[in-house]
């Protein structure tokens, strides 16, 4: 798919079917995440593939935004592993994790699957359930699945600023 077409077609899907996602597609999503650019290629991120019954139930404990999915990816960035900009000591772990998360989101759509970027979740509770997440800033949970037949973009999806409002020419 052409990239511009992909970015225009992708939307936050909030209705997923119970159809299982094939391992081949999961592997491609993870491969896309692994090739996402990060500062100085330090890759200060971790992905948690939540697919066991216990893991799915734990995700449901920390967010109500699961949309019927039986598969989730949690994305986190580790500040102690990230590049730090020397001019102002800006740690970019969250930026790197967001770049990875965006690659994940676009790969999911490109594979005929659907998701939405869930930011409303109880990260401290998730870290209590999974101690290995403690060193990470958890930035997103992606419920992953096939879009329901009647799934469609929400009305705000089509609201875009004019290009002149987002670009400053100097």
Calculate the dihedral angle through the C-alpha atoms of 50, 25, 110, 1, rounding to the nearest 10 degrees: 160
Amino acid 5: pLDDT:
93
Architecture of domain 28-146: 3-Layer(aba) Sandwich (3.40)
- Please answer whether residues 106 and 27 qualify as being in contact, where contact means their C-beta atoms are separated by less than 8 angstroms: no
β-bridge pairing 45-50 and 137-143: unpaired
Looking at the DSSP bridge assignments, the partners of residue 46 are 76
Amino acid 7: pLDDT:
93
Below-70 pLDDT ranges, the chain:
none
For the chain, the structural domain boundaries read 28-146
Amino acid 158: pLDDT:
87
Cα angle value 57/95/75 (rounded, 5°): 15
Per DSSP, 79 falls in state G
State the pTM of this model: 0.95
């Amino acid at each position: 798919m052409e990239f511009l077409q992909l970015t225009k077609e992708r939307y936050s899907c909030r209705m997923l079917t119970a159809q299982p996602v094939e391992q081949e597609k999961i592997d491609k999503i993870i491969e896309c995440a692994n090739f996402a650019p990060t500062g100085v290629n330090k890759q200060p991120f971790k992905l948690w593939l939540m697919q066991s019954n216990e893991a799915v139930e734990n995700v449901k404990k920390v967010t109500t935004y699961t949309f019927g999915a039986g598969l989730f990816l949690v994305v986190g960035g580790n500040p102690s592993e990230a590049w730090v900009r020397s001019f102002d000591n800006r740690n970019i772990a969250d930026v790197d994790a967001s770049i990875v998360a965006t690659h994940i989101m676009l790969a999911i759509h490109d594979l005929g699957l659907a998701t939405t970027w869930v930011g409303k979740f109880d990260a401290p509770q998730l870290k209590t359930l999974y101690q290995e997440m403690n060193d990470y800033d958890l930035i997103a949970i992606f419920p992953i699945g096939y879009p329901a037949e009647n799934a469609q973009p929400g009305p705000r999806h089509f609201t875009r600023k004019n290009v002149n409002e987002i670009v400053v020419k100097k």
